[in-house]
A and B are shown apart, each in its own frame.
Chain A
Amino acid sequence: MAEIRCPMCSQPNPEDAEVCVSCHARLKPLIANNGPSSAADDRLETPAPQADSGAAQGSDWLSRMRSGAAEPEARDEEQSENITPDATPDWLGRLRDTQARQADQQAEQETEPDWAAQRASPEDSQPAPDAQEGEVPDWLARIRQRESEEIVAQPEAPEIDDVDWRSRLGQGDSAGVEDVEISARLMGQMEEAEADLGSESDQAALEFSQSAGDEPASAGIDDRQELPFMAEEPSSPASGEYDYPEEPGALDADVSEVELPWLASAESQPEPSPDEGDSSGLAAGEAAAFSEDLEFEWPEVEGLDKPSGMPWEGGAVAHEVPEEPAFDWLESSEPQQSAPPMDEGALPREEPEVAPAKSAEERIFGVELGLDADVPEVAEHVPPEAVEPPSTSALILGEEQPPTDTGGVDLSLDDIDLPDWLADMQGPAGAPGRGEIVDDAALAPATLPSWLEAMRPVDSFRSVMDGESADSQAVESAGPLAGLRGVLMAEPVVAMPHPATIGSAGLEVTERQFAQAEILQHILVEEEREFPPAQPARTSLPLLRWIISIVLVLSVAMPTFLPSIFFGVFPKKLFPDFSKFIAVVESLPTDAPALVVFDYPPGYNGELSTIAGPFLEHLVRRGVPIATLSTTPTGPLLAEAILSKYGENWTNYIHLGYLSGGPTAVQVFAAAPRSAVPRGFKIPTTLQDAQIKDGLQGERINSAWQSKLLGDVERLSDFSMVAVITAGPESARTWAEQAPNWMDGKPLIMVLSAGAEPLVRPYHESTNPQVQGIIAGMPTAVGYELYINGQTHAAENRWDAFGFGMFSVLLILLVGGLYGLGRGLWRLGMRTTRGGVDD
């Protein structure tokens, strides 16, 4: 069964298959108006260009193409091999017939053939593998691998096996050795392909793949494919087998014998400028886009490198476009002799009558659609200037520039006998070359042909604004798409942020706001700043305190060392309360003890001991027993310290001790003294019997209540008197308020400090006084001492010191007052003066 070689993956497929089984690529191109086969027939009928007489009489592949064109539906390998150069392929004839019909189809250019649309669909196309320069592509590797294998002639020549060779044939004029070989090989394949083409759609697909720049994933040239230029004998391709040289350079000799007129004509054409290497009738962007859309898988050809780039790829790749179209042979209607087998690397010679060079796409497009330069449609797409296609060898070898050293192989394509129809497609003589501006009003504007337009993927993906010229499009300069046109610019649209255009992007800051922001920043900086630990404040010398202290100390200490002559005069007039006090003391009985309460802290001992001394001495001298009591813990000790100077413990006085509970305990003691103070203080261990109560002799003394002094004291009223020695009015008030209720009219007198006397006096001067006598202060103490004329002279000794101290304090207050007054007046004067000056 005949098989169709998939142009994309080179896998064999059934003859009637529409799409490839493996890669689902379209096998049979679609044409909108005509059937798939009609398009192919039209193309086949395109008159071939005039071929040089001296050109190659048609290689075997060309012959096969011609013979195969007569039976486009046969697709037989034998037919493809038996194509004679003189036989006009039916497909060529059909191409001519369709020329007239194409003129009517001008309006339907925009119709997208189904096959084109399907072909353009992503699912039908496969991305061509990237063939890196310097690496042997897979297809070439496979070719080499299959050299030793017997190649079975395939009835169906690979349609898209090496579509690139078509473009390469029309591009570049000089090629290296490898280019020649590859070109020859490709030509052979092409011949086979042309011969086996059964449908215009296939042919169009082949050429589309070429124009798209796709590279076949697997080269269509495998061990079963026939590469006429690779065969040692011209007839060898007929068998469908090619003896692939093991080394790429082994085909040089064979290649040199191959005359490819069309290739020679392509060599003679000037190299097109890189910018104009694109399709003449297409914008660079469109072509690039178109090429991207057509994802054809280049057939892998062993020994063949993927071309470095197609002319429509971004326009960055400089392709050498031969001045003469590469497919001049396709344009000639006459069959041409098949070119002699070419070695690898040998380039087919071009025929001299090759039509002016066109861009590869143009030639391909023209071939596919049966359009040539004479056809109006084709004329529209014919660029005003001749676009020199890149070198075929360069394309085959993947080089931008054709190899300079051809190894003696005539790479010219002038001798290639191209069909008439292909020659016609070269365009009129004198067509403008590459780089020349053609001002031809007949030239169609740079618009895409309808079928090409139809091949675009989906209109919805494209904006209406498509059609922007390639020159106006910016070239991407960053990212992986650098160098391409018509792509979304990464910068600054996508990658680089941009400020919003809506509204004001600037921040208006007033001076006040700026100042506040500075303050805030300063505060924040200050907060973060670490301050060293604050140095301890340098304490200033308390000079004032020192001076006053020295003055007071000297004033009080000096009388100690000096005879008291200054304050020698004692107070002549005693306080009026002194007489009452003396009267109370004088009226006390001697058979009942007097309760003396020592309710002052030790700190007040200096004043109160001076005042209470003569009082206690008075009591002792009168023979009144004294019972001491204290509501402070240190009271008994203070009492002992004073009374020990005037009398004897347990003889003249006795200590009841500490009454805990404060003022609350006074009530308790007042109600039941013995229970409040059960034991006493400083109880002697040994006592004379006379000193204890009768009946208790020989017993252990463990309580003050066992002494004779306390006798039959059971209640507070059993005491003859209650005397409170205190420095604070609270204690005096407590006794004055609590004790009288339990004393049954017994006198209550108080020995006070000078400061407490005013607060206690109301108790003494009330209508029903609760306190019958009070003495307070140093003057009273001095007078009391003078009254009793006893051994105590503490007040007298301290009188001068007391006086000088008082005098010093008076002076201090006086000086301070005068200083304060003077400073105030000075400041007032200064303020007044300053105010007057300001006025």
Chain B
Amino acid sequence: MKLGAHLVWAVVAGAAGLFVLLGYFIDYEIIVAMRLVLMRWAVLIAAWALMLGIVNILYVHFIKVQDMEPGWPYSIVLMLALIATVIFGFLFRPDSEIMVMVFNYIHLPIETSLMALLPITLAVAGFRLVIQKRDWASMAFAGAAFFVLLGTVQWPFFSDDMFENLSGLREWLVQVLASGGARGILLGVALGAIVTGLRVLLAVDRPYGD
């Protein structure tokens, strides 16, 4: 580790974070302007990082095909699809009808289908949860899920009063128990995020390397 380079990067990262952070608390024009400039630079860097990520995907799958690792045919399909999409985008512009069609009939159904796996996964997980994990937390979890589902739909075999009661129970579970617990979790997460960010500002954590 070169001590000089390490300190330079640490100072740069710390200064940038400090300016952005202080920009939220101090309403001085210079600080606000510096914050906006740094944020725009971050946006630009994130956009170029997206390009590097696409190149990284191509490189990883290229190595996979070159070494004929298991699953290399799928890597060929991925690279061809990526290259074709890039070519179409350069040829027909990203907002052309062709690209919209590619998105509407290929990308959107794929991701929607992956999302459709989630209820099945959660149903299986719930089933195993009530069978394998028979602790109080798991029982509470399963019970809450049951009553929330029960109070969501107006069942034909239930009367309106029953539905109103079940609906009220659902609201209580969601708005009171779940929401309160979620807020507590969010507070803890927020505290952890603050400390994590401060560690980066104080150069204790250096994810940018040395």
B127→A779 contact, CB < 8 A: no
Min CB distance, B135 to chain A, in Å? Answer: 12
Q: Which of B39, B134, B156 contacts A668 (CB 8 A)?
A: B39
Bound-state Cα–Cα, A254 to B107, Å: 135
In the complex, chain B residues whose CB is within 8 Å of the CB of A570: 154
B95→A813 contact, CB < 8 A: no
Bound-state Cα–Cα, A569 to B131, Å: 34
Q: Which of B114, B142, B160, B179 contacts A762 (CB 8 A)?
A: B179
Task: In the complex, identify which listed stretch (A190-198, A213-221, A455-463, A602-610) lies at the interface while the others stay far away.
Answer: A602-610
B167→A573 contact, CB < 8 A: yes
In the complex, chain A residues whose CB is within 8 Å of the CB of B179: 758-759, 761-762
In the complex, chain A residues whose CB is within 8 Å of the CB of B42: 661, 664
For window 534-583 of chain A, which residues contact chain B by CB distance below 8 Å?
A: 544-545, 548-549, 552, 566-567, 569-573
B39→A602 contact, CB < 8 A: no
Bound-state Cα–Cα, A178 to B164, Å: 148
Minimum CB distance partner of B146 in chain A: A813
B131→A813 contact, CB < 8 A: no
With contacts A606-B115, A805-B119, A819-B131 taken as known, whether A667 is within 8 angstroms of B39 at the C-beta atoms is: yes
B43→A665 contact, CB < 8 A: yes
B154→A813 contact, CB < 8 A: no
Is B91 in contact with chain A by the CB < 8 A criterion? no
For window 100-152 of chain B, which residues contact chain A by CB distance below 8 Å?
A: 100, 103-104, 107-108, 111-112, 114-116, 119-120, 123-124, 126-132, 134, 142, 145-146, 149-150, 152
In the complex, chain B residues whose CB is within 8 Å of the CB of A662: 46
A544→B127 contact, CB < 8 A: yes
Q: Which of B104, B111, B128 contacts A641 (CB 8 A)?
A: B104
Min CB distance, B63 to chain A, in Å? Answer: 25
Bound-state Cα–Cα, A62 to B37, Å: 142
Is B36 in contact with chain A by the CB < 8 A criterion? yes
B178→A758 contact, CB < 8 A: yes
User: What is the interface size of chain A, counting residues whose CB is below 8 A from a CB of the partner?
Assistant: 61
B131→A823 contact, CB < 8 A: yes
With contacts A544-B127, A606-B112, A637-B100 taken as known, whether A660 is within 8 angstroms of B47 at the C-beta atoms is: yes
Min CB distance, B47 to chain A, in Å? Answer: 5
Bound-state Cα–Cα, A723 to B39, Å: 24
A643-685 interface code vs B (CB 8 A; 1 in, 0 out): 0000000000001000011101101100100000000011100
Min CB distance, B142 to chain A, in Å? Answer: 6
Q: Which of B104, B114, B156, B186 contacts A603 (CB 8 A)?
A: B114
Min CB distance, B60 to chain A, in Å? Answer: 21
In the complex, chain A residues whose CB is within 8 Å of the CB of B36: 667-668, 671
A817→B112 contact, CB < 8 A: no
Bound-state Cα–Cα, A599 to B11, Å: 35
In the complex, chain A residues whose CB is within 8 Å of the CB of B124: 544-545, 548
Query: Which of B95, B160, B175 gathers the greatest number of chain A CB atoms within 10 Å?
Result: B95
Q: How large is the interface on B (under 10, 10 to 19, 20 to 34, 35 or more residues)?
A: 35 or more
In the complex, chain A residues whose CB is within 8 Å of the CB of B119: 552, 805, 809
Is A636 in contact with chain B by the CB < 8 A criterion? yes
Min CB distance, A435 to chain B, in Å? Answer: 98
Bound-state Cα–Cα, A803 to B112, Å: 20
In the complex, chain A residues whose CB is within 8 Å of the CB of B155: 803, 807
With contacts A549-B120, A668-B40 taken as known, whether A816 is within 8 angstroms of B127 at the C-beta atoms is: yes
Is A517 in contact with chain B by the CB < 8 A criterion? no
Is A640 in contact with chain B by the CB < 8 A criterion? yes
A803→B107 contact, CB < 8 A: no
A759→B186 contact, CB < 8 A: yes
Bound-state Cα–Cα, A637 to B94, Å: 10
B127→A603 contact, CB < 8 A: no
Min CB distance, A570 to chain B, in Å? Answer: 8
With contacts A545-B124, A566-B156 taken as known, whether A664 is within 8 angstroms of B43 at the C-beta atoms is: yes
In the complex, chain A residues whose CB is within 8 Å of the CB of B132: 820
Is A17 in contact with chain B by the CB < 8 A criterion? no
A803→B153 contact, CB < 8 A: yes
A660→B46 contact, CB < 8 A: yes
Min CB distance, B43 to chain A, in Å? Answer: 3
With contacts A812-B126, A813-B142 taken as known, whether A545 is within 8 angstroms of B120 at the C-beta atoms is: yes
Bound-state Cα–Cα, A634 to B36, Å: 25
Is A696 in contact with chain B by the CB < 8 A criterion? no
A641→B146 contact, CB < 8 A: no
In the complex, chain B residues whose CB is within 8 Å of the CB of A802: 153
Bound-state Cα–Cα, A159 to B70, Å: 104
Is B174 in contact with chain A by the CB < 8 A criterion? yes
In the complex, chain A residues whose CB is within 8 Å of the CB of B182: 758-759
In the complex, chain A residues whose CB is within 8 Å of the CB of B103: 602, 634, 637
A589-622 interface code vs B (CB 8 A; 1 in, 0 out): 0000000000001111110000000000000000
In the complex, chain A residues whose CB is within 8 Å of the CB of B95: 636, 655, 681-683
Bound-state Cα–Cα, A93 to B168, Å: 159
Is B199 in contact with chain A by the CB < 8 A criterion? no
Is B206 in contact with chain A by the CB < 8 A criterion? no
With contacts A571-B154, A660-B43, A668-B43 taken as known, whether A820 is within 8 angstroms of B131 at the C-beta atoms is: yes
Minimum CB distance partner of B102 in chain A: A637
B150→A640 contact, CB < 8 A: no
Bound-state Cα–Cα, A815 to B127, Å: 8
Q: Which of A758, A761, A810, A816 contacts B131 (CB 8 A)?
A: A816
A807→B153 contact, CB < 8 A: yes
Minimum CB distance partner of A641 in chain B: B104
Is B183 in contact with chain A by the CB < 8 A criterion? yes
Is A790 in contact with chain B by the CB < 8 A criterion? no
Min CB distance, B201 to chain A, in Å? Answer: 16
Is A824 in contact with chain B by the CB < 8 A criterion? yes
Min CB distance, B173 to chain A, in Å? Answer: 10
A726-745 interface code vs B (CB 8 A; 1 in, 0 out): 00000000000000000000
B150→A810 contact, CB < 8 A: yes
Bound-state Cα–Cα, A655 to B40, Å: 22
A634→B183 contact, CB < 8 A: no
A824→B134 contact, CB < 8 A: yes
Is A103 in contact with chain B by the CB < 8 A criterion? no
Is A520 in contact with chain B by the CB < 8 A criterion? no
In the complex, chain B residues whose CB is within 8 Å of the CB of A823: 131
Is A806 in contact with chain B by the CB < 8 A criterion? yes
Is A519 in contact with chain B by the CB < 8 A criterion? no
Is A438 in contact with chain B by the CB < 8 A criterion? no
With contacts A573-B167, A603-B115, A604-B115 taken as known, whether A814 is within 8 angstroms of B146 at the C-beta atoms is: yes
Minimum CB distance partner of B133 in chain A: A820
Bound-state Cα–Cα, A569 to B95, Å: 42
Bound-state Cα–Cα, A747 to B183, Å: 24
In the complex, chain A residues whose CB is within 8 Å of the CB of B178: 758
Bound-state Cα–Cα, A45 to B86, Å: 138
A602→B164 contact, CB < 8 A: no
A810→B46 contact, CB < 8 A: no
Bound-state Cα–Cα, A636 to B42, Å: 22
Min CB distance, A658 to chain B, in Å? Answer: 9
Min CB distance, A823 to chain B, in Å? Answer: 7
Minimum CB distance partner of B121 in chain A: A545
Min CB distance, B194 to chain A, in Å? Answer: 15
Bound-state Cα–Cα, A606 to B95, Å: 22
Bound-state Cα–Cα, A808 to B122, Å: 12
Bound-state Cα–Cα, A655 to B94, Å: 13
In the complex, chain B residues whose CB is within 8 Å of the CB of A682: 95
A573→B43 contact, CB < 8 A: no
Bound-state Cα–Cα, A101 to B11, Å: 123
Minimum CB distance partner of B97 in chain A: A682
26 residue pairs from A and B, CB less than 8 Å apart: A545-B124, A549-B120, A552-B123, A567-B154, A602-B108, A602-B112, A603-B111, A605-B112, A637-B100, A637-B104, A655-B95, A660-B47, A664-B42, A664-B43, A668-B43, A671-B36, A758-B182, A803-B155, A809-B119, A809-B149, A813-B127, A813-B130, A813-B145, A816-B128, A817-B130, A819-B131
Apart from A605-B108, A812-B126, list 7 A-B contacts with CB within 8 A: A545-B124, A552-B119, A605-B112, A641-B100, A661-B42, A758-B178, A802-B153
Q: Closest 7 CB pairs between A and B? A: A661-B43, A603-B115, A816-B127, A682-B95, A820-B131, A603-B111, A602-B111
